[in-house]
Structure 1
Amino acid sequence: MLMQHAEPTTGDGAVTRTDVRGYAWVVFALTVGLLLSDYMSRQVLNAVFPLLKASWNLSDTRLGSLSSVVALMVGLLTFPLSVLADRWGRVKSIVLMAAMWSLATLGCALSTTYGEMLLARAFVGIGEAAYGSVGIAVVLSIFPARLRATLTGTFMAGGAFGSVLGMALGGAVAAHHGWRASFGAMAAMGIVLVLIYRLVVTEKRLAPLQPPGTTQSGLGVRMSFSALMKGLFSTKSVVCAYVGSGIHLLVPAAVWAWMPSLLSRSYGMSINRAAITAAVFVLVTGIGMVACGMLADRFGKHARERKWSAAIVFCLMCFVLLSIGFRMPAGPLQLMLLGAGMFFSAGASGPSGAMVANLTPPSIHASAFATLTLANNLLGLAPAAILTGIVADRIGLLGALQLVPIAPLVAAVAFFIGRRNYSGDLNRLDFLRHEATR
């Protein structure tokens, strides 16, 4: 009976470690810091949407494409670049990626046409492509498995907090110095963080923190493509985790991209005020990701299926609150309901990441999280802004946003299917692992 409620050994390379060393938290803080820079560079664009629209006379579709092209590049390149990072070295890959997105953000500041901006934004996406998967793989390799949903939720929440800073600071800088200065400020912060990370974090210093028998930060991992695919897609439940996570993230991506514009159009807010107000919604999303990850870990401590149940509940809460909120008249009550819905909008991220880690071998965790990132981007983050823009050009921005809450309802179905298969999948994977080591 105890075995039925224990955390799985599959993918739990750090399960026997209960201590957490100080340097691990330093690495975690710096890795999250770079994630903040990642999303500051990505989301500063949303704060200056109205200025770009006026300066270059852009349609909502073109504005949306400047946001979606980043997620598209991430979706297309995250898997191959993460596999390369597993083989080349995760720390070196992180430094290279962060340098690229910072320089590309500087390129955005220097753009003079829509085409140049689109190209620069594409390179921002190329630089960011594998960072989420490689960064979380580094973090999970140096912490015990009991903290996985909490760490994953907190790490991914760094994207929300980075978006808050990018939108709030970007809007403030743009209001006083123009939109070019906003991109320049984000680029400068990224470059400084890259230099600090390069000096503090090394493969050699990470090695003592990792469990015995694991490859140092993924360096030197070699396996055939068929074996890799088998490890990544071995069960129905892990596929459901990929799909559910990706679809449910369409909501925060769409709302983060278009909330400043909605506040400007429906509430008559200035550029600076709209950006700061929208940043509050992003902040609420990030807080929700951390809180929901912690709740999922607590509820799933003695019954492993409960993390799936938590993900389902978070999705349903988001669906109900946002469906009502976007149909209410403009005013404080609408903003309160939208804020409550955004609290749960990315709440399934922590449980999803924990399930992927539990259902895949530690040696391919960067590739597994790359697959999760691929699903997150292609199913949710990449299409969200541009699809909302296309629909907004036809029925108005508010009408387009009223359709967005359908996504978490679909995600809840995927998580429900995953929950039904989870116990059987874990038992089968544990049996195969034990057979292979006999």
Structure 2
Amino acid sequence: MNLHAADPRADHHDGYLVSQPQAWFAFAMTFALMLFDYIDRQVIVSLFPHLKTAWALSDKQLGALVSVISIVVAVGGLPVALLADRYSRVKSIVVMATVWSLATISCMFTRNYGQLFTARAIVGVGETGYGSVGAALIASLFPKRLRATLMGAFFAAASVGSVLGVLLGGVIAARWGWQAAFGVVGIPGLVLALLYVFVPDYKTVAMAAGGTQVRQPAGTLLQRVAGALTSSRTLWWTCLGAAFQLIVVSTIWAWLPSYLNRYHGTPPDRAAMQAALVVLCGALGAFVWGVVADVVAARRQRNRLIAVAVLAVVTLLVFMTAFGTAMPANQQFLLIAFGGFLMTCTVAPASSVVFDVVHPGVRSTGAAVLSLFQNLFGLAIGPFVGGAMSDAWGLQTALAVMPIFGVVAAGCFLLAARSYEAELKRVSNVSIDAAPTAAPAAVASA
């Protein structure tokens, strides 16, 4: 893809759309918001023991408090991303961050399960489309050769945020009660939302071949968007594969603290800290496997999809061994941590593949399709189905069985690899330009 920078200081040789300081400022801000997105989303996991005691909730009800956010994000992601693609990615992110931060703070004032469930759903409304819009912005400002690496770093923020959310929730609840945890983690997002207005954006890209008019009749625009998305088999197989692997990830994230508490007698705050270490391994894995994907793709592009298919199967074997066989607690925890490092192997490569094969004019929308699958068929299923299986057969059995979805994920990635390289060529000549930025001169020239 040819990237034409509007700023004469931008580095044309390495393919940055704006100057490198502007690009890295955008990445830092987008990473920070992703961090607090998942702090706000996952803080409740470490509060499960407190909520179960306070309101006599079932595991299915507790899992629903996590799954509802993913369902709302999945339902609203496409329209939000479509608006962001056609108007402004930066302004959309500012609004989203403000809404989810305020909704998180409101959770501390709830007095029953229904109120908390509603507040969590509103958190999901704010988070709708953020990951896809933010990822599309990063993918467009930086060179293509860094795409999987940057996606790995960006989505690692989800794992790091989950770690901090679980840690902070456990520590704060132990000292000041579970309600206080929501207030503490919700405030920083408001500050970041105000600062995000200084992030550079890229101009809306015309959907018509060789066209310059980006404001088209709604019917024509929707037809072009639908055509750009439905014509890619690689996109759909990649989305399915990413979703099935995230069933494994979300199950471990949601239920590991409870598993450690129930089966090893670990106090809730310590269980939260141990589970956080596993999630942190996932953050490292998301970055490492993104780098690996870029390295193996240098020889042949389809290798990135083959690599993640293999890693998904290895993840299954590790978790089935950890939860399905008898072993000392310390040895089991090390094996679970290794599985945590492996299980995020698909996050960065899947996003990179989607950005590679969709038209630049619908990058946020293409990422929203991926997000829809990841949230509705991945993140939403893991905690809820895992909780239902736990109610029926016990939590240890549920954690041993749920990773089987990794085999299905591997099959989907192998099918995506068959059409990936051919579809890369279809959008290789579409160019994009930098939009005027509100960033102060100090940021632009730093």
The question of a shared fold, defined as TM-score above 0.5 by the shorter chain, is answered with yes
Which has the larger displacement, 286-295 or 185-194?
185-194
- 1:107 alignment counterpart: 106
The TM-score, its normalising length taken from structure 2, stands at 0.88
Matched residue type, 1:159: A
Q: Which residue in 1 is equivalent to 2:371?
A: 373
Determine whether 1:409 maps to 2:407: yes
Alignment of 1:248-397 (within 5 A): 248-329=245-326, 331-397=329-395
> What is the alpha-carbon distance in structure 1 between the residues aligned to residue 65 and residue 346 of structure 2?
27
Q: Relative to 1, partners in 2 of residues 1:221 and 1:347: Cα closer, same or farther, differing over 3 Å?
A: farther
Question: Is the counterpart of residue 183 in structure 1 residue 179 in structure 2?
Answer: no
- The more displaced of 235-244 and 55-64 is 235-244
1:70 has 2:72 as partner: no
Q: Say whether the 8 Å CA contact 2:312–2:406 is kept in structure 1.
A: yes
Distance 1:13 1:302 in 2: 26
Match of 1:421 among 419, 422, 433: 419
Partners of 2:427 and 2:107 in 1: how far apart? 49
1:330-355 Cα offsets, whole Å, 9 max, x none, are: 50111111111111111111111111
Residues 221 and 294 from structure 1, CA distance in 2 versus in 1: closer, same or farther, beyond 3 angstroms?
farther
Equivalence for 1:5: none
| 1:18 matched to 2:17 | no
Question: How far is the alpha carbon of 1:197 from its aligned partner?
Answer: 2.1
Judged with a 3 Å threshold, the aligned counterparts in structure 2 of structure 1 residues 354 and 12 are, in CA distance, closer, same or farther, namely farther
Alpha-carbon displacement from aligned partner over 1:412-431 (angstroms, at most 9, x marks no partner): 0001111122233335x269
CA contact (8 A) 2:3 2:15 kept: no
Look up the match of 1:98.
Answer: 97
- In structure 2, how many angstroms separate the alpha carbons of the residues matched to 1:334 and 1:403? 16
Deviations 1:114-162 (A, max 9, x none): 0000000000011101100111111111101111111111111111010
Aligned to 1:166: 165
Letter in 1 for 2:21: G
1:235, CA displacement in angstroms? 2.2
Structure 2 match to 1:195: 194
Counterparts in 2 of 1:60 and 1:423: CA distance versus 1, 3 Å:
same
Say what the alpha-carbon RMSD is for the aligned residues. Answer: 2.4
Identity of aligned pairs, percent?
Answer: 36
- Quote the residue 1:116 is aligned against: 115
Aligned residue for 1:326, secondary structure, equals: helix
Displacement of 1:233 after TM fit? 2.3
Q: Cα gap change, 1:381/1:17 in structure 2, threshold over 3 Å: closer, same or farther?
A: farther
Q: Distance in 2 between matches of 1:221 and 1:343?
A: 44
Match of 1:6 in 2: none
Deviations 1:162-216 (CA, angstroms, capped at 9, x unpaired): 0011111111111101111101111112222222323x32xxx445xx899999x
CA deviation vs aligned residue, 1:229-258 (integer Å, no higher than 9, x gap): 111121222211111111111111111111
CA contact (8 A) 1:86 1:220 kept: no
Mean alpha-carbon deviation: is it higher for 87-96 or for 280-289? 87-96
List runs of 5+ in structure 2 lacking aligned partners: 6-10, 432-446
CA distance in 1, matches of 2:252, 2:278: 9
CA distance in 1, matches of 2:410, 2:273: 31
- Specify whether residues 80 and 117 from structure 1 end up closer, same or farther in structure 2 by C-alpha distance, changes over 3 A only: same
Q: 1:16, 1:241 → 2: CA distance?
A: 31
SS across alignment from 2:249: helix
Give the CA deviation at 1:300: 0.6
CA contact 1:319–1:406 (8 Å) conserved in 2: yes
Q: State the number of aligned residues.
A: 415
Distance 1:304 1:408 in 2: 22
Q: Which runs of 4+ in 1 moved over 3 A?
A: 11-17, 210-215, 219-223, 424-427, 430-434
Secondary structure class of the residue paired with 2:324: coil
Take 2:343 and 2:172, find their aligned partners in 1: how far apart are those partners? 28
Distance change (3 Å), C-alpha of 1:152 and 1:269: same
Deviates more, 1:361-370 or 1:417-426: 417-426
Hey, what's the Cα distance between the residues in 2 that align with 1:277 and 1:12? Answer: 44
CA contact (8 A) 2:244 2:378 kept: yes
Asked if the contact 1:75/1:382 (under 8 Å) is kept, the reply is: no
**How far does residue 432 in structure 1 lie from its aligned partner after superposition?**
10
Rounded to whole Å, the distance in 2 between the matches of 1:341 and 1:322 is: 6
